[in-house]
Amino acid sequence: RPKEPVFMPKGDEKKVFDVPISYLSDKYKPIGSQVTARFGEEASEQIKVKQISMPPLGEIVDLKRDDNFSVFIPKHRRIAGKLTNIFLGMRNVDDLLAVAVYARDRVNPYLFNYALSVAILHRSDTDNLDIPSIIRTFPDKYVDSKVFKEAREDANVVPQGARIPIEIPKDYTASDLDEEHRLAYFREDIGVNLHHWHWHLVYPFEGDRSVVDKDRRGELFYYMHQQIIARYNFERLCNDLKRVERYVDWDAEIKEGYFPKLDNLVSSRAWPARVSNQKLQNVRREVEGINMDVDDLKRWRDRIYDAIHSGRVQKSDGSLITLTENEGIDVLGNLVEASILSPNPELYGEIHNMGHILLSYIHDPDHRYLESFNVIGDSATAMRDPVFYRWHAFIDDLFQEYKSSLPRYTVNQLNNPGITVQNVQVTSQGLNGANTLQTFWQQSDVDLSRGMDFQPRGSVFVRFTHLQYRPFTYKIQVQSSKATQGTCRIFMAPKYDERGNPWLLRDQRLMFIELDKFTVNLRAGQNTITRNAAQSTVTIPFERSYRDLDTSRPTGGDALAQFNFCGCGWPDNLLIPKGRPEGFACELFVMISNIDDDRVNQTISGQCNDAYAYCGVKDKLYPDRRSMGYPFDRMPRNGVETLQQFLTPNMRVQDVNLVFENKTYRPRGTQ
């Protein structure tokens, strides 16, 4: 199995494909031998591409090569499904390579990258094949457009080795006049956007059923996005903003605007902006085959609420399915999104996806200006825009309406007899005193040259600034009446609401962000559990988010083993919210739940099992049998108003102070 991404040889190593002339596009066929010779000259290695008879591409090539591509657009999604199926249907890796090389020059590049990535991810014979991170292939989706002009200039003028990183300012999309801009460090974090793109790549909502139908995918759609909203709200409170307002009045103006300052390198066009106070409009765009009214959304919303309130969903054949206590959320997740697993797309539509579409064409609903969609229309860029959170706050509210209708967890369902959590403490490296967490600004360098098509080649580093936290450990004291196992669940929430008042648990439960979850072995008697924050099953290490980007910090053999699925995971640098310079009061919640109700019998050893909380594990069951978000996914039992009243002996809460140090640290290893 090739260890290198064979379909995209690295520029510096000068590997080229030896392509049969019949594969070249019509434009180059007449001069085919000259074209192949030209590239051959520079090559240190030629990779022979097999000649096979090619399947017809049909409507796949209807999408022009310089158009933008989005899986939210039904037509794009359909042709992406077709191309993915072609890639999946190839008998072996050589044939796959051949058809990929053939398609590469004919198909829209975004579509090509998406379909090939999905196929590689789901073929058994490409399990170990590296997909270059999308930031390497399409850095324009993540980085200020100014950078590319500068990078091009540097590549021409400055010899390699003498190049200094191009610095992307921390604030470049807006000024502090816009209060929403306080959250730009979160929304525009490269790692967070990479995570979101990977999540949707791993969990496509359309395509072959074998690709879509993964264990609890509907529930994971709900939970992963619920956690994004909880984390965003946590950050908002740190920044003196109230929780995000659900976008529910679809006739009202949207006060938030967004100017992405991204250029699409494929089309040489700027990503469209959305000015403040625009209103949702009906979308009629023939090119994309979209004909959608705002009223369609409203009808779907009303039907979904009806289903939730009656506890039943109507299938396409008219029969009813009950939304059961544990599986109902999975059905609802697929129905709301909607994925092809929705029991009745005619009746319930696809409210979430269509919301993305209507919002993404708000600036040009009838295509009169020939503009493409804005950032919310692409899962690689959607999280940059404030309206993403308003929309997903509404989507989450649908799910919460359902969760509120479920029976509350009883003391018996929460307690773990014989187990008492006696003490919890966090210790940050290099800080005196316990129970303080610290964040700061960190700069990092990434090499974008692989996504940039110009000569001469060589590394082009950009330096960006992101939030980071000081490494810390948890120390948990547990008394157990017997030798046993348990699941340790760690969450954190702000201690007070935006007015500075203590929370009612019914509201605070939605603010809890998951920090970690892992199995513990307990002896009879006293136990001390220590756990490093970096081991979190929510996050992936910083290096993996940017895999292979920073060539100055070689990623080594271990990283070579970290593949496609592994790009999904919350970015470690955002594990802990920003806090405040004067400190921000938080409550750290630790629970040891009863393993008998948690355990899923399977082995998950091997690759990429370390960020399963939001991403699951490839080809396995979700490794925790409880409802995602347990124990905060349901309303507290009757009589319980506060977190303290909710606690059973196997739970404990520790006050933690979250301090932001307003200082920017240079990249590791630089002055």
Binding site for ligand CUO (CB under 6 A): 196, 200, 225, 352, 356, 379, 382, 392
Nearer to ligand CUO, 151 or 290 (CB): 290
Query: Is 185 strand, coil or helix?
Result: helix
Most distant CA atoms of the chain, gap in Å: 81
Least separation in angstroms between residue 444's CB and ligand CUO is 25
Catalytic residue of the set 206, 235, 337, 587: 337
| Distance in Å, CB of 646 to ligand CUO, minimum | 30
Nearer to ligand CUO, 200 or 466 (CB): 200
DSSP state of 105: T
Report the residue number, 360 or 465, with the smaller CB distance to ligand CUO.
360
Q: Which two tokens stand for residue 127?
A: 């399990």
DSSP conformational letter for 483: S
Shortest Å, Cβ 305 to ligand CUO: 19
Looking at beta carbons, which residue is closest to ligand CUO?
382
In the complex, minimum distance from the CB of residue 280 to ligand CUO, in angstroms, rounded to a whole number: 16
Of 145, 90, 136, residue with least CA distance to 113: 136
Q: Which is nearer to ligand CUO, 217 or 352 (CB)?
A: 352
We find the least distance from the C-beta atom of residue 382 to ligand CUO, in angstroms, to be 5
Q: What is the CA radius of gyration of the chain?
A: 25
- Contact call for residues 533 and 475 (beta carbons, < 8 A): no
With beta carbons less than 8 A apart as the criterion, state whether 217 and 592 touch.
Answer: no
Contacts 24+ apart (CB under 8 A), 514-517: 514/227, 514/489, 514/490, 514/538, 514/613, 514/614, 514/629, 515/490, 515/491, 515/575, 515/576, 515/588, 516/474, 516/488, 516/489, 516/490, 517/487, 517/488, 517/489, 517/490, 517/613, 517/624
Residue 437's contacts (CB-CB under 8 Å, 6 or more residues apart) are 426, 428, 469, 470, 472, 576, 579, 586, 656, 657, 658, 659
**Closest distance to ligand CUO from the beta carbon of 337 (Å):** 7
In 3D, which of 532, 481, 511 has the Cα closest to residue 588? 511
Place of tokens 């974008």: 448
Integer Cα distance of 92 and 126 in angstroms: 9
Nearer to ligand CUO, 379 or 609 (CB): 379
Look-up: residue for tokens 């909502």? 205
Least Å distance between CB 379 and ligand CUO?
Answer: 6
Distance between CA 271 and CA 70 in Å, rounded?
13
Instruction: Tell the smallest beta-carbon distance from residue 286 to ligand CUO (Å).
Output: 25
Residue with tokens 């005193």: 433
Active site residue 59: no
Class of residue 90 by CB neighbours under 10 A (exposed 0-12, middle 13-18, buried 19+):
buried
Residue 649 to residue 420: CA distance in whole angstroms: 5
Catalytic positions are 337
